[in-house]
Amino acid sequence: MTNETKVEEKDERADSAAAAPALKKPVLIGRKLGMLQHFKEDGSVVAATIIVAEANVVTQVRTKERDGYSAIQLGFGRAKNPDRMTKAELGHLKDLPPMRVLREVRLDDIDGFATGQEIGVDRFAPGDKVHVSGVSKGKGFQGPVHLHHFTRGPKSHGSDHLRRQGSVGSGTTPGRVLKGLRMAAHQGADKVTVRNLEILRSDPARSLLVIAGAVPGGKNGIVMVRKA
């Protein structure tokens, strides 16, 4: 390899770094495909989640001078039916492909970022620790036994309190139900973050990340992956 070739390769890497500055804590929007078994080199098997994260597009850059804080807005996934998007949404994404998901990420330093840049899974490497946020599976309205693991009532002798709440204290001092008392309620469909999961594999060619353990949500759920 000649010196001229080395210089050219170095210049290409420098240009690429300038086009997409390195984030101190990279973040990506992805879609959960499901779970699988991952075999490590020592022969051990771990449960893992596979996430597809096609290149995220920077759709907006916010500055402290104009917006009061610094951040970048990322777009993920192409909209299936752009005709159903409003004029405001299409105007916001002018000169950009219509994106299905938009998320904002606050950063202390936004120098070098510009609308239209792409961020991919190549910013993550095997062994990195990440925090994964998503919306948990919705379980609907659940009773106290299922939701809070209350002890059930008796099954025999005509009891009608098998899975009921029991006393809530309204008949004793202070004669009212105290705030925060655990009762039947809606379960799931909440934002959940699982921290310090290990990246087992990064495949930039197919835009895939394999992460050890389970992450919130069901198949095809949208997740946010942040470097710990």
Domain-embedded: residue 164: no
Pair 216, 136 in one domain: yes
Q: Are residues 110 and 125 in the same domain?
A: no
Tell me, what's the pLDDT at 4? 44
Confidence of residue 175 (pLDDT cuts 50, 70, 90): confident
Judge if 137 and 200 occupy the same domain.
yes
User: What CATH number does the domain containing 87 carry?
Assistant: 3.30.160.810
Q: Is residue 49 part of a domain?
A: yes
Q: What one-character-per-residue DSSP string does 97-135 give?
A: PPEEEEEEEE-S--TT--TT-EE-GGG--TT-EEEEEEE
137/26 same-domain check: yes
Given the structure tokens 């996934």, which residue do they identify?
77
User: Please, what's the b/e burial string for 122-153 (b: 16 or more CB within 10 A of its CB; e: otherwise)?
Assistant: ebbeeebebbbbbbbeeeeeeebbebeebeee
* pLDDT digit string, tens, across residues 51-67: 999 889 999 999 999 99
Q: 189 lies in a domain?
A: yes
Q: Are residues 109 and 93 in the same domain?
A: yes
Q: How many domains does the chain have?
A: 2
Token pair for 54: 């096609």
Share of the chain above pLDDT 70, in %: 89
From 16-25, 56-65, 79-88, 213-222, the region with the lowest mean pLDDT:
16-25
- Residue 15 confidence class, pLDDT cut points 50, 70, 90: very low
pLDDT score, position 8: 44
CB of 210 within 8 A of CB of 48? yes
Q: State yes or no: pLDDT of 10 exceeds 90.
A: no
Region 92-106 average pLDDT: 91
- Amino acid code (one letter) for 112: G
Same domain, yes or no: 65 and 112:
yes
| Structure confidence at residue 52 (pLDDT) | 95
- pLDDT value of residue 24: 59
pLDDT of residue 13: 37
176 within domain boundaries: no
Using CA atoms, how far residue 205 sits from 16, 73, 118, in Å, is 17, 24, 14
Q: Same domain, yes or no, for 206 and 136?
A: yes
- Domain of residue 42, residue span: 22-54+120-141+183-228
Is 113 found in the same domain as 62?
yes
For residues 110 and 199, state if they share a domain: no
pLDDT at 87: 93
With beta carbons less than 8 A apart as the criterion, state whether 131 and 226 touch. Answer: yes
pLDDT tens per residue across span 103-125: 999 988 888 888 998 988 998 99
Q: What pLDDT is attached to residue 55? A: 82
Q: Give the bridge partners for 48, in sequence order.
A: 36, 212
In 70-219, DSSP assigns E strands to 71-78, 99-106, 118-119, 129-135, 140-142, 185-187, 191-203, 208-212
Looking at every residue in the chain, the average pLDDT score rounds to 87
The answer to whether the CB of 222 falls within 8 A of the CB of 29 is yes
Based on the domain organization, do 112 and 28 belong to the same domain? Answer: no
Q: How many CB atoms lie within 10 A of CB 112?
A: 13
Residues 114 and 199 in one domain: no
In a domain, 137, yes or no: yes
CATH of the domain at 191: 2.40.30.10
Q: Are residues 46 and 60 in the same domain?
A: no
Does 1 fall in a domain? no
pLDDT in tens, 142-163: 999 999 999 999 999 999 889 9
pLDDT of amino acid 109? 82
In a domain, 89, yes or no: yes
